[in-house]
Structure 1
Amino acid sequence: MKNILLLILICCLSLSNRAQEQMNPSSRISGKAIKLPGFVTSPYFEEQVISFIHTPGIKVHINAPAETKFGKDKPTKLVLYALPNGNSTDWTIGKMPAEGDDWHYHIQHIGAQTRYIRATDPECNFITVYLEADTKSWGSWRKAEPTRDQKIKETVEYILSLFFQV
C-alpha cells in the first residue's frame, strides 16, 4: 500500500511543476465560467464531477470546483487519493450525518476537506481525484496481475492529461 501511494505521489510531484501553467486548451472557455468537458454539475455545492472506469478494476471519481469558481488563469492542483482498504468512494467523500447512516460515511469527509481548502485558498483550482480498487484493497488488486503497476501509471497519466499538457 505504501508503494502505491508513493508511486502516485511521485508521479504527481514530478509532473506538477512542468505542467503547472499548461492547462489543456479543451478545458479553457472564454468568459468567467469554465465548464470542464464531460463533467456534470453536482447538486451539492455546484461542483463539477465525473466518474468512470479507466482501467478494469479502477474506479475514478473526479471532483472539481464549480464552473463559476474554476479559473483558467489559476494554478490547478490535483490531489490523487487512493482509497484506504475496505472503503468506497461515497464513504470517503462523506456526507452530512443522518439517522441510520453507515458509520463509514463519518470517518474521512474528504469532500468537506476539499471544500475547506478551496475556501481557504481561492487562488488555486483544487481538484480531488478518488481512486477506488474494485477489490477494495490496492494491495490485493496489484497482486492479481503482474501488469497492474503499469495500469496504475497509465491511469495517473490519463488523469493528468485531462488537466495538463505534458
Structure 2
Amino acid sequence: MTIKSGAICVYIVLVYWISLHFPIMHTLFFPTLGAFSLLFISKPFKKEEVGSIAIGAVTASLIGSICMYFSTGVLSILLNTVAVIWLIRKFRWNAPPILAVSFIPFFTQPATVWITPLSVTVSLIGLLLFLYAADRLERKFGATPRFVRSGTDQESPERAAM
C-alpha cells in the first residue's frame, strides 16, 4: 500500500467518525468521497485540474441543493442532471463523481440549502490536504524502502550517506 492509499483510508475513516459523533457534521461523509479519493490518486493530475474538479463538485452540489430546495420531484432531478452534465462537458471535467455529488441533497434532504455545498467543500479540501501531505511524504521518503538485495540485506549507498 502506498502512502497516498493509506492517507485516503485514514481520511475516510476520520471523516466518517466525525460525521457519526457530531450531528451538525453528519453530511461531511458521503460515498462519493471515496470515488474522488481514488480518482485523485489514479492518475497524475495537475494542480489546476484537481482544483477544477473540486470546484466542479462544489458547483454540482450547489445546483443539486438549489433544485432540491425548489422541488423534490422528478423534474427537479432532471433539471439538476441536465445542468450538471452540461457543465461537465463544457468545462471538460473528466470526473464522473461530480454528477453523483449533485444527487446528495436528494438523498439527505438537508434542512438548509447551503449544508451540502459546504460539506462537499470542507470534505474535498480536507481530502486534498491529506493527499498533498501524503505526496510530500512519498517524495521525501519514497513509496518503497531503499534496500539492495544481494544475498544479504544491506543499506543502499544513498541511504547510508543520509
> What's the TM-score, normalizing by structure 2?
0.35
Larger proportion of helix: 2
If you compute each CA radius of gyration, which structure gives the higher value, 1 or 2?
2
> What's the TM-score, normalizing by structure 1?
0.34
Larger proportion of strand: 1
